[in-house]
Amino acid sequence: MPRRVASAPPADEPGAKERLLAAAQEVFAERGFKAATVREICRAAGANIAAVNYYFGDKEQLYVEAVKHAHTCTGPMGEIDIPPAAPPVEKLRRFVREMATRMHAPASPTALKLMMREMADPGRAAGVVVTEFIQPAAFALRAILRELLPGADDRQVLMTGFSVMGQCLFYRQNLPVAELIFSKDEVAALDADAVADHVVRFTLAALGHAAPLGGESKA
């Protein structure tokens, strides 16, 4: 049995630096960079007021680390499991399903919230998030759409990608507002599967690879 000392916890309870990172993620996500105070973060982490300076240098570097840490929590976006040999429609189906699910029911809502905040007005830590998190997904989607729309030019592919992403991101960026407009219950009833199914079908239908939502049409 391993000996156990005070300053070397049994590896299951995180050290001060980890606690600080977690607390920072929470507080920055909730309040934003400026409105968050290092005092609150330290209190939440059970750490000393000087701990931020000690571990991270200053508030801003803590913020950057918190954002980097957040995109770790969310799971590597570029590595959506899409078999390269699958037919394009299947690729798109998987991509959209994964993306919609991650936005609507993320593994770590706090982490995602922090990242979205940084994206909302890109600044101190936008670079990492874009490079490591968003760009891979964007390029993967573009590749799929090029397969799926062989005759389309770059602009069409680009805007189609925006239509796909716009649908997925809606559930992250605007659901709180939607809850204010419609009954909260009505919105809350939308489970991740239903959302994913809808976005997949809407998109495939728009691209002519599934039946449209409104039944037969004049098209």
Binding site for its own copies (CB under 8 A): 31-35, 117, 119-122, 126-127, 130, 134-135, 138, 148-149, 151-152, 154-156, 158-160, 162-163, 165-171, 173-174, 176-178, 180-182, 186-187, 189-190, 194-195, 198-199, 202-203, 205-219
- Residue 162's binding partner among DNA, its own copies, none (Cβ under 5 to 8 angstroms by kind) is its own copies
- Residue 54's binding partner among DNA, its own copies, none (Cβ under 5 to 8 angstroms by kind) is DNA
Question: Which helix H or strand E contains 55, and what residues bound it?
Answer: helix 51-56
Distance from chain centroid for Cα 124: 18
Cβ count within 10 A of residue 49: 11
Q: Could you tell me the smallest distance in angstroms from the CB atom of residue 111 to DNA?
A: 21
> Which residues fall within 8 angstroms of residue 215, CB to CB, at 6 or more apart?
none
Q: Does 126 bind DNA (CB under 7 A)?
A: no
Q: Residue holding tokens 């593994």?
A: 107
Q: Could you tell me the smallest distance in angstroms from the CB atom of residue 73 to its own copies?
A: 20
Among 5, 11, 85, 180, binds DNA (CB under 7 A): 5
- Residue 169's binding partner among its own copies, DNA, none (Cβ under 5 to 8 angstroms by kind) is its own copies
Taking the C-alpha atoms of residue 38 and residue 21, their distance in angstroms, rounded to an integer, is 12
Q: Which amino acid is at 40?
A: E
Q: Residue holding tokens 């390029």?
A: 139
Taking the C-alpha atoms of residue 25 and residue 115, their distance in angstroms, rounded to an integer, is 10
Footprint on this chain of DNA (rule: CB under 7 A)? 5-8, 15-17, 36-39, 47-55, 57-60
